[in-house]
Amino acid sequence: MSDGAAADGAALVRAFEAAGQGQVFAFLGGLAPGDRRHLLGQAAEIDLAEVARLNAGLAAGATAGPGGDSDLKPAPFERLPAGGGDRAAWERARAAGEAALRAGRVAAFTVAGGQGTRLGYDGPKGAFPVTPVRGKPLFEVFAHKILAAGRCWGRPFHWFIMTSHQNHAATEAFFSERSWFGLDPARVHFFRQGRMPAVDFNGRILLEAPGAVALSPDGHGGSLRALERSGALDLMAAEGVDTISYFQVDNPLVHCTDPAFIGWHLLRGSEMSSKMVPKAYPEEKLGHFCIREGRLVVIEYSDLPIELQRLREPDGSLRFGAGSVAIHVLDRDFVRRMARPSGERMMPFHRAEKKIPTIDGSGRPLRPDRANGIKFELFVFDALPFARNPVVIEARRADDFSPVKNAEGVDSPRTCREDQLRKFARWLKGAGAALETDGTGLPGLSVEVSPLFGFDEASFAEGWAKLDPKPAVADGFYLE
């Protein structure tokens, strides 16, 4: 280590000691030079003032939860024309969105920094094979939607992908080995999200090894500050992009750059817009769009009392039935503002009590069998209350939402595969192809349409109309 670095190290140690976090360096003296540098590097990443603020909140028993629910109202949303929405307004929105897409104002943004613990897949979640016939990975599905939509609007998109420290190198390698799925590599941008230290129940930062802090990704809400810190927002500004189409890595059904959604956002002068689907049943694990104290908020399923989740309107619909599907459009300057928080504009950290692998006083590993500490995460929807004119629009679940979250059961590879099959079958049948489906729209055969053939129903129908003769649909049918 150079003298300068050693001096910086000493200053860092003093700052941690002054903050009551000196235990982070308890083993510093005995570390090999590489481990020492690693630990100091990790420590330099930690915002001690932020940790102190969170600890003060812990001591006061504060949570990032929803607050009281006495003043809670369901949030209004724009209904789809099929459900009684204003068709002309949807058409105006679509036209405005298409104009923005043609003008190159929109970038795609995928958050892919999660740990994917529930799925238990060994590798970045975006590499998980998901399509019904070809078993294409999630990243390929998005890449081809983005490629095809870019061709359609005459403007190739910039695509920003947020990774974590854990999966960054593997994600980049995955794209490089597959030649960026045909995209221009200069338009695919990877950046890492931030990390937060885990603390014990007394607010003391935990070590996972003598030379390593227990750090974990700072949540999908960390994407706003990571977009700023990484220089992504500057690049967008230089490229004339002012509108960010945000989606999660686990949902292959998503319309990555939806003109109508983008149009609603722009025409309303919204800084952050969201898609909702009606909850399928009261206990479905979706966040709820609500209005509290005049502001749009999303209240997680675990935070809304079950009586409220079950409450029905006179027409039988769920009162708090607007489910969040984590699809947003964000204004670039709004993201910049949120990334530089001030007193009144601070997204809350959510706390989760977890089993955190750590070490004992002599540096030996401890694998706790019950929660021994707290992890902190930011959630992207917590930016909504700070956004001007936020708009929520209805999405058709079958078009936009079927995430892969769990290894089995709901939101699993099986349900997602079936939802893709239903969507392809619906498109094929709509275009006149002969295909048997059951009462839920599920075909008896495996079929798949590449986004390069049709990235939405309209582009599919256009492509199909040009086919002469029309192909017969058999098991394993694939169109590209």
Q: Which residues bind ligand UTP (CB under 6 A)?
A: 111-118, 125, 162, 193, 217, 219-220, 248-250, 405
Structure tokens at 164: 């974590």
Of 377 and 462, nearer to ligand UTP (C-beta) is: 377
Taking the least distance from each CB to ligand UTP, the nearer of 161 and 304 is 161
Closest to ligand UTP by CB, 147 vs 162, is 162
Least Å from the CB of residue 172 to ligand UTP? 15
Least distance to ligand UTP from the beta carbon of 47, Å?
16
Closest approach of ligand UTP to the CB of residue 397, in Å: 17
Q: Closest approach of Cβ 301 to ligand UTP, in Å? A: 12
What tokens does 201 get? Answer: 């129940």
Judged by CB, which is closer to ligand UTP: 262, or 380? 380
Under 8 Å CB-to-CB from 20, ≥6 apart: which residues?
204
Query: At its nearest, how many Å lie between ligand UTP and the CB of residue 223?
Result: 6
CB nearer ligand UTP, residue 78 or residue 218 = 218
Q: How far is the CB of 326 from ligand UTP (least distance, A)?
A: 6
For residue 247, the minimal CB distance to ligand UTP (Å) is 8
Q: Which is nearer to ligand UTP, 114 or 150 (CB)?
A: 114
Name which of 193 and 273 has its Cβ closer to ligand UTP.
193
Considering the complex, state which of residue 38 and residue 118 has its C-beta at the smaller distance from ligand UTP. 118
- Chain-centre distance for alpha carbon 155: 24
Cβ proximity to ligand UTP: between 142 and 289 the closer is 142
The candidate with the shortest Cα–Cα distance to 184, out of 212, 214, 146, is 146
Rounded to a whole number of angstroms, the minimum distance from the CB of residue 189 to ligand UTP is 15
d(CA 94, CA 265): 10
Q: Which is nearer to ligand UTP, 112 or 146 (CB)?
A: 112
Helix axes 33-45, 3-18, angle to 10 degrees: 50
217, 222, 225, 228: CA torsion to nearest 10: 80
**SS3 letters across the chain:** CCHHHHHHHHHHHHHHHHCCCHHHHCCHHHCCHHHHHHHHHHHHHCCHHHHHHHHHHHHCCCCCCCCCCCCCEECCCECCHHHCCCHHHHHHHHHHHHHHHHCCCEEEEEECCCCCCCCCCCCCHHHCECCCCCCCEHHHHHHHHHHHHHHHHCCCCCEEEEECCCCHHHHHHHHHHCHHHHCCHHHEEEEECCEEECEECCCCECEEECCEECEEECCCCHHHHHHHHCCHHHHHHHHCCCEEEEEECCCCCCCCCCHHHHHHHHHCCCCEEEEEEECCCCCCCCEEEEEECCEEEEECCCCCCHHHHHCECCCCCECCCEEEEEEEEEEHHHHHHHHCCCCCCCCCEEEEEECCCEECCCCCEECCCCCCEEEEEECHHHHHHHCCCCEEEECCHHHHCCCCCCCCCCCCHHHHHHHHHHHHHHHHHHCCCCCCECCCCCECCCEEECCCCCCCHHHHHHHHHHCCCCCCCCCCEEEC
Cβ distance to ligand UTP smaller for residue 191 or 478: 191
**390: nearest Cα among 300, 240, 225, 275:** 275
Residue 363: CB atoms within 10 Å? 13
What is the nearest approach in angstroms of ligand UTP to the Cβ of residue 114?
2
- Measured from the CB atom, is 116 or 451 closer to ligand UTP? 116
Nearer of residues 105 and 375 to ligand UTP, judged by Cβ? 375
> Cα–Cα–Cα angle for 416, 419, 421, nearest 5°?
110
Structure tokens of 349? 């950290």
Q: Which residue is nearest to ligand UTP (CB)?
A: 114
